[in-house]
Amino acid sequence: MIDRMVEGKDEEDAELQSPIVGRQRYARRVFRQIHQTIGLFAGAIVVLVGLSGSVLAFREDIDEWLNASIMRVEIPAQRSLRPLDEILTAATAAIPPDGKLERLTTPRHPGAAVALTYMLETDDLDSIFYEMFVDPYTAKVKGQRVLLHGDRVLSQPLIQIIMAFHWTLLLGVDNAYIVGAVGILIFISIFAGLYLWWPVNGNWRLGLKVKWGASPERVVYDLHKAVGAYFAAIFLVILITGVAMIFKPATRSMTSLFSPVRADPDFGKSTPIPGRLPIGGGEAVASANNVFPDGRLHWILLPSTPNGVYVVGKQSNDEPNRTKTFRNVGVDQYSGQVLRVQDRNSFTAGERFLEWLFPLHTGEAFGEIGRVFVVLFGSMPLALYVTGFLRWRQKRRARKRPAF
């Protein structure tokens, strides 16, 4: 058994024999220590972040399944949607008098409800955000739930909790940089691992094979190398996009060095007109349709102050981001006049890069297949951590075992 235990180490260290000498051998020892240390400690966090990311790839479907009673509706034989203003009126009547409607999001599919969010300020100057669901065929309120309540993360829906864990470890938004820092360490570890993976004889195909008939120690070692090599490129894309979104200001600044990046759009302010009541959401959408006649209505950001504006989003079929849209129109809530337009077709290369970060990270840029791949790749850190940990433990045991 001792021979089998040593076999894995001998074959692993065979790469370090001639012609690798001097500085190259020292460099490999340094890179091995970096890869091992970061992997053992930061890797455990990335495993949990990766698994939560796998769940979030289908976050809307899971959320809807868990809350079907309020988020799903029956599809009538003849699909006839109620007017938008009727849905807004029903939602307004169902919220407290001091509640403020903030956003309406249209259904993702025919069997889903319209989602509306509203804010309610408490006596202690805290804000609670609720989410309400309205049947688009009957304009009847299906139900509502707490969406966000300050730092009380556990009062949120399950998917929101998982999302908060994924990028903050439930430590609060101000501590999201911790996950970003861990991501940077893993980035370093991956490149150290790729350096160690590359065979010294230049035959890279050897690093992609698993000797299934060898000792368990060698199989574990080969699995760790092969899994890391096969999926390193895609894992790096997911990792880089995640870190870039956490450190968004720095990402925008660095991107602007290569391509102009404009500030987030200001959709202007409404001008009250004496004696004229605000227009309805339907009229605001009609104004936006004059700018973007194509695409589907994705959302309406509702004015919550006398100077607030409607922001109508018309999502095009070729947008990589399906969670939000970058085709938005600011509409004066009194005159219906178009104030500002955000059109992704006029984005610079830098702005397109920023637009693609989220859909690449979640896989939604490539539809359902992309989401499935994210589920698979989200479990890759677990496979690497298990095989890496087993190999580390095998080597420790081999060193402690007395030689005969």
Reported as a pLDDT band with limits 50, 70 and 90, residue 212 is: confident
d(CA 343, CA 86): 29
Q: For 265-347, CATH number? A: 3.10.450
Q: How far, in whole angstroms, is CA 382 from its chain's centroid?
A: 19
SS3 call for 342: strand
Is 166 within 8 Å of 56 (Cβ atoms)? yes
Tell me the average pLDDT across 271-300. 96
Is 390 within 8 Å of 222 (Cβ atoms)? no
Is 106 within 8 Å of 58 (Cβ atoms)? no
- Amino acid in the structure at residue 122: T
Residue 97, preceding peptide bond in cis (omega within 30° of 0): no
Q: Which residues contact 292 (CB under 8 A, 6 or more apart)?
A: 314, 316, 327, 329, 343
d(CA 380, CA 359): 19
Q: Does pLDDT of 20 surpass 60?
A: no
Question: Whole-prediction pTM value?
Answer: 0.87
Q: For 72-156, CATH number? A: 3.30.505
Per cent of the chain over pLDDT 70 is 91
d(CA 270, CA 366): 38
- Min mean pLDDT across 53-62, 66-75, 149-158, 370-379 is at 149-158
d(CA 314, CA 296): 5
d(CA 80, CA 77): 9
SS3 call for 329: strand
Q: State the SS3 of 335-391.
A: CCCEEEEEEHHHCCHHHHHHHHHHHHHHCHHHHHHHHHHHHHHHCHHHHHHHHHHHH
Task: Give which of 361, 357, 356 is closest to 373, Cα–Cα.
Answer: 361
Q: Say what the pLDDT of residue 123 is.
A: 67
Reported as a pLDDT band with limits 50, 70 and 90, residue 22 is: low
Please give the residue that has the higher pLDDT: either 206 or 349: 349
Q: Does pLDDT of 95 surpass 70?
A: yes
- The tokens for 299 are 């959302």
Residue ranges, comma separated, of all CATH 3.10.450 domains in the chain are: 265-347
Residue ranges, comma separated, of all CATH 3.30.505 domains in the chain are: 72-156
| Mean model confidence pLDDT for the chain | 89
Is 336 within 8 Å of 284 (Cβ atoms)? yes
